[in-house]
Amino acid sequence: MPLSTEEQVLEVAKLLRHANHVFVITGAGCSADSGLPTYRGFGGIYHNKLTEDGMPIESALSGSMFQTRPEITWKYLAEIERGARGASPNAAHKTLALMEQEFERFWILTQNVDGFHSAAGSKNVIEIHGNMYRLHCTSCDFQKKQADYTDIKIPPQCPLCDATLRPNIVLFEESLPEKEINILYRETRIPFDLVLSIGTSSYFPYISEPIWHAQQTGIPTVEINPSETAVSHLVDFKIELGAADCLSAIWAQYQSQN
């Protein structure tokens, strides 16, 4: 008989109790309780729809579009940022930051570009798709942190050389950042005791691979996601809850065991 949600929460807390090295993968579902909208996938603003410029959102947010028509890319970046404005880290981010302080080695691999893990206090974060609030010039060495996009002129220009600024994010068609990839490879070469996937469809190979590798080598795996994903059939525990509620429950059980 399958375990109930409550029983799975208890079992995961026990796994954490005996772990020293923990690896966490997060996606959009981790920020959902902060009120951030989704733009792709079922229920997203652009699910099976084109943008008002008559193109898929993937085309608008592509490297080639930014090269030829940066105003289009910036238009939709600003729309995404506007939907997230005023949001803040939720209980999921805060719980993961508390977990980092508890374990000998604790790393988060995130696809999110909202910067919420760092804002919540996590230090060991691999922002594999970048951070939308860090801007840099496409021609010179100018860079800055941006609180939000309220006063940004679309597309923004560099104050030093007048070239176009862009956020430090990975657009469609672009390569992943070498620095983040190197950190990911460095850390995953050393075995973890537990791997958790939280709020991600695990569509990209570099997101699903840690779960697959853990499953192959006998390392316990956990997925926290209300939906079925590319790794649901692989994990030892599949908890169909939202990230904030589930992590809060697991952490409460963990603390009660101390």
Dihedral sign, Cα of residue 108, residue 82, residue 61, residue 244: positive
Could you tell me which residues come within 8 angstroms of residue 222 by beta carbon, excluding any fewer than 6 positions away? 12, 15, 194, 195, 196, 197, 235, 236, 237, 238, 239
Q: Please give the Cα distance from 180 to 167 (Å, whole number).
A: 16
Q: Which tokens sit at 155?
A: 């597309």
b/e 28-61 (16+ beta carbons within 10 angstroms → b): bbbbbbbebbbbbeeeeebeeeebeeeeebebbb
Q: How far apart are the first and last CA of the chain?
A: 29
Cα angle 18, 21, 27 (rounded to 5 degrees) comes to: 110
Residue 177 C-alpha from the chain's centroid:
15
Yes or no: say if 112 and 26 are a contact pair by the CB < 8 Å rule.
Answer: yes
Q: Is 117 a catalytic residue?
A: no
Out of 18, 21, 47, 129, the active site residue is 129
DSSP code string of 29-84: HHHGGGTPPP-SSTTSTTTT---TTSS-HHHHTBHHHHHH-HHHHHHHHHHHHHHH
Q: Active-site residues: which are they?
A: 129
